[in-house]
Amino acid sequence: MKAVILGGTSGMGRAIARRLAERGDSVFLLGTSEASLAKSAADLGARHPRGERASFAVCDLEQPEQFAAALDAADAALGAFDTVVLSAAMFATQDALEADVDLARRLTTVNYAHSIVFCEHARKRLLARGGGCLAVFASVAGDRGRKPVAIYGSSKAGLASYLEALDHKFSGAGLSVVCIKPGFVKTPMTASLKPPPFAGDADRVAEDVVRAIDRRAPIVYTPRIWALVMLVIRWLPRFVMRRIAF
Amino acid sequence: MLEGWGRIGAPGREDLATDLESLTMGAALSRGLGRSYGDSSLPAREDDRVAATRLADRILSFDPSTGILRAKAGLSLDALNRVFVPRGWFPPVTPGTKFVTLGGMVASDVHGKNHHVEGCFGAHVRALRMRLADDSVVECSPSEHEDLFFGTVGGMGLLGHVLEVELAMHRIPSPWIVMQRERVRGIDELVEALARAARVWPMTMGWLDASARGSALGRGVLMAGRWAAPDEAPRTPPRAPAERTLPFDFPSWALNPLTARAFNAAFYWAHLDARDERVVAPDPFFYPLDKILHWNRAYGARGFTQYQCVLPRAAGVEAVRALLERLAEFACASPLCVVKDCGPEGRGTLSFPLEGTSIAVDLAMSPDTERIVAALNAIVIAARGRVYLTKDRFTRAEHFRAMEPRLDAFFALRDKYDPARRLRSAQSVRLFGDRA
């Protein structure tokens, strides 16, 4: 496998990059900090069975004008990638987003609009070479409009809807789309929050995601218990949703 | 609330971040995976900053021609083994759980089944990068700032925050272990069998039934092992161990003297043959309890402590017998007791092992726990032994001082590197008189 990972220096993206490198896949990292990318590249090199050091390029999900050049750099380094993972995103609590509408605009733009732009660049390249895999992090927060994640969740809901349509439209052409829906996972992004029950860790999520990529699964809930939790929540009637804080 | 593995907590919270350099600035204590049993990784005060290292887990370099690895202090042994066992490398020393970080292994100067051959983990550490109490960052090694290096090895994180660890990994001939087990009928036989096995096997330990009395006192199972040669091992690598989890607390009465006795008897008699030898995977050999995540919940909400001491060879098997007899008198619930034949003392200023017999036993919390620990400590002091800080929660300061002639040397290092005692833990308040 030749994989490009945007967000591969931290959290779940980092854990996925490691799992791939450890089994001998080639990885190209995209991220915002050159220093952090270089350190992660060395880490992946030490983990790779043949010592293959990952290459990298700076690419910020807030800067869509960087996307095409970043993917070109990945193609040049890997020799035509076959897998693209998008794990980067913004997160903020509902309180913070309500207090600052500009933050809300930024977050929804990055998580929805820019993520779609990145996926469009990636899927066009994959389709041009006969297909491949596009694995993107949505969230269980997008499965139902809920009070504590009204804004963040809606950005992920929009992204999930796009991914579903992408699967419908291009699976025949060889593009497999994996929509990843993590529940609460203990990562640097959520380090300031108190973990709820069923909180997962990044490495377990990575194991599930890599399996889903290998099997071309269209949707993966991880940790898997969240599939059940969200099934229940999707069926709760409105009068209940209005009352509970969840 | 932060807890040690024994689940007795202290108010406080940890700060988590990937960047250990900035995280440790001004922090009072580093904390890895929280596997020390007592209060070593708990803050002295609720508002002390605790730097949780576990997200800082990058490998910085690995040289496959020498096995020299350098990594951030938060890298776990679990992750290290997953990457390197399939490639034919293993850490030179491993404790009985893989859910520990490199930084924690240094701070505790952990020992393993091969202590009689390889010494402690610190003996294989080549260099450390540290953040000191004055916020400066220094590199130390056995030849550079060596007092800082040896003070940090086994120093419970009190001389500085470990940022990076460089160690020499060992080559292994296969990812499998040849294990021999032998049932032994009493403490004299067990101590003798451990000494005999140590001459032949690079890895040894004993499990004994701490509830047996009289002539069965100290009956148990001796385990010895070595890495299997390629022609003795299955050709396929071991499967990843299936992990189960204890999803909730057992009620506190679940582990009581009666169930502990039943468990111990079952464990002893399960080894029907007096001796057997087979090839096993490394995980069940090194980390038998890791297959049940959160096994500490078996003790219920009351929590527990582990008592681990080492009794010098000179004190003889009589001291071991005296300790076991005292334990049996207290009849405290303890399913398994681990015995290890330790090699010579290492160079870490406060490193735990010394040449003799180490005994580790779980004690469920009860109103008597402090009294029991004090009584056991009296035997240890008389025998010129010592307790393991990584397990300890109840030893009194004056008892620790009586065990530890090296304490003044350690205090001198703290005076040099942290005169204001900015680095501290709940344990250092309890045992070293730091202000809370």
- Sorting pLDDT into bands at 50, 70 and 90, what band is A32? very high
Chain A CB contacts of B60 below 8 Å: 39, 42-43, 46
How much is the average pLDDT of A86-93? 96
Searching chain B, which residue's CA lies closest to the CA of residue A19?
Answer: B83
Asked whether the CA dihedral A152, A155, A161, A162 is positive or negative, the reply is negative
- Phi then psi for residue B153, to 5 deg, are -70, 105
Cα gap B416→B432, rounded to integer Å:
16
A224 touches chain B (CB under 8 A): no
Say which residue, A223 or B212, is predicted with more confidence: A223
A157 Cα to chain B: minimum distance (Å): 28
| HEC per residue, chain B | CEECCCCCEECCCEEECCCHHHHCCCCCEEECCCCCCCCCCCCCCCCCCEEECCCCCCEEEEECCCCEEEEECCCEHHHHHHHHCCCCEECCCCCCCCCCEHHHHHHHCCCCCCHHHHCCHHHHEEEEEEECCCCCEEEECCCCCHHHHHHHCCCCCCCCEEEEEEEECEECCCCCEEEEEEEECCHHHHHHHHHHHHHHCCEEEEEECCCCCHHHCCCEEEEEEEECCCCCCCCCCCCCCCCEECCCCCCCCCCCHHHHHHHHHHHHHHCCCCEEEEEECHHHHHCHHHHEECHHHHHCCCCEEEEEEEEEHHHHHHHHHHHHHHHHHHCCCCCCEEEEEECCCCCCCCCCCCCEEEEEEEEECCCCHHHHHHHHHHHHHHCCCEECCCCCCCCCHHHHHHHCCCHHHHHHHHHHHCCCCCCCCHHHHHHHCCCC
Chain B CB contacts of A203 below 8 Å: 79
Cβ atoms within 10 Å of B157's Cβ, excluding its own: 28
Q: Flag whether pLDDT at A14 surpasses 90.
A: yes
Say if CB B40 and CB B59 are below 8 A apart: no
Say if CB B337 and CB B209 are below 8 A apart: yes
**B61 strand-pairing partners:** B70
User: A49 and B69 in contact by Cβ < 8 A?
Assistant: no
Chain A CB contacts of B79 below 8 Å: 203
Say if CB B98 and CB B153 are below 8 A apart: no
A35 touches chain B (CB under 8 A): no
Q: What angle do CA B414, B418, B422 make, to 5 degrees?
A: 120
pLDDT of residue B259: 81
pLDDT of residue B249: 83
pLDDT of residue B358: 97
A194 Cα to chain B: minimum distance (Å): 11
Q: What interface predicted TM-score (ipTM) does this complex get?
A: 0.90
**B276 strand-pairing partners:** B181
User: B55 and A188 in contact by Cβ < 8 A?
Assistant: yes
Nearest to B352 by CA among B304, B400, B423: B400
- Sorting pLDDT into bands at 50, 70 and 90, what band is B296? confident
Cβ burial of B270 (10 Å; 0-12, 13-18, 19+) is exposed
A167 Cα to chain B: minimum distance (Å): 33
Nearest to A27 by CA among A7, A58, A4: A4
Residues in B lying within 8 Å of A, measured between beta carbons: 16-18, 55, 58-62, 64, 69, 79, 82-83, 86-87
How much is the average pLDDT of B103-119? 97
The residue type at A138: A
The residue type at B409: A
How much is the average pLDDT of A93-114? 97
Instruction: Determine which helix (DSSP H) or strand (DSSP E) holds A219, and give its type and residue range.
Output: strand A219-222
User: B58 and A49 in contact by Cβ < 8 A?
Assistant: no
pLDDT of residue B256: 80
Whole-number mean pLDDT of chain B? 93
Q: Per-residue pLDDT tens for A160-214?
A: 999 999 999 999 999 999 999 999 998 888 877 888 877 888 999 999 999 999 9
A70 Cα to chain B: minimum distance (Å): 24
Q: Per-residue pLDDT tens for B150-202?
A: 999 999 999 999 999 999 999 999 999 999 999 998 889 999 999 999 999 99
SS3 A87: coil
A191 touches chain B (CB under 8 A): yes
- What is chain B's alpha carbon radius of gyration, rounded to the nearest angstrom? 21
Say if CB B359 and CB B339 are below 8 A apart: yes
SS3 A201: strand
* Domain locations along chain B: 2-172+407-432, 177-397
Say if CB B357 and CB B299 are below 8 A apart: no
Give the one of B16, B60, B64 whose C-beta lies nearest to A42's C-beta: B60
Give the one of B55, B61, B82 whose C-beta lies nearest to A46's C-beta: B61
User: Can you read off the two tokens belonging to residue B164?
Assistant: 């990076």
Q: Name the DSSP letter for residue A136.
A: E
A23 touches chain B (CB under 8 A): no
User: A42 and B82 in contact by Cβ < 8 A?
Assistant: no
Residue A32 lies in domain: 2-243
Nearest to B234 by CA among B276, B279, B193: B279
- Sorting pLDDT into bands at 50, 70 and 90, what band is A2? very high
Chain B CB contacts of A191 below 8 Å: 16-17, 55
A40 touches chain B (CB under 8 A): yes
SS3 A30: strand
pLDDT of residue B116: 96
How much is the average pLDDT of A219-231? 93
Chain A, chain B: beta-carbon pairs less than 8 Å apart: 34
How much is the average pLDDT of B38-56? 96
User: A188 and B18 in contact by Cβ < 8 A?
Assistant: yes
Q: Per-residue pLDDT tens for B394-428?
A: 999 999 999 999 999 999 999 999 999 999 999 99
Which is it for strands B292-293 and B203-208: parallel, antiparallel or unpaired?
A: unpaired
For chain A, the 3-state helix, strand and coil shares in percent, each to the nearest 5, are 55, 15, 25
Q: Per-residue pLDDT tens for A34-65?
A: 999 999 999 999 999 999 989 999 999 999 99
Domain count, chain A: 1
pLDDT of residue B239: 86
User: A46 and B79 in contact by Cβ < 8 A?
Assistant: no
Chain B CB contacts of A47 below 8 Å: 59, 83
Taking the mean position of all CA atoms in its chain, how far away is CA B78?
A: 15
Instruction: Determine which helix (DSSP H) or strand (DSSP E) holds A177, and give its type and residue range.
Output: strand A175-182
Asked whether the CA dihedral B62, B64, B65, B66 is positive or negative, the reply is positive
pLDDT of residue B272: 63
What is the architecture of the domain spanning B177-397? 2-Layer Sandwich (3.30)
Question: What are the C-alpha distances in Å from B258 to residues B41, B265, B332?
Answer: 33, 11, 10
Chain B CB contacts of A51 below 8 Å: 62, 64
Is pTM beyond 0.90? Reply is yes
CATH number of B2-172+407-432: 3.30.465.10
Q: What percent of chain A has pLDDT over 90?
A: 90
Searching chain B, which residue's CA lies closest to the CA of residue A190?
Answer: B16
pLDDT of residue B47: 94
User: B60 and A39 in contact by Cβ < 8 A?
Assistant: yes
Say if CB A58 and CB A66 are below 8 A apart: yes
The CATH number of the domain where A112 resides is what? 3.40.50.720
pLDDT of residue B333: 59
A164 Cα to chain B: minimum distance (Å): 33
Say if CB B57 and CB B163 are below 8 A apart: no
The residue type at B371: R
A160 Cα to chain B: minimum distance (Å): 28
Non-local (6+) Cβ contacts of B251 within 8 A are B300
Q: Name the DSSP letter for residue A34.
A: H
pLDDT of residue B257: 77
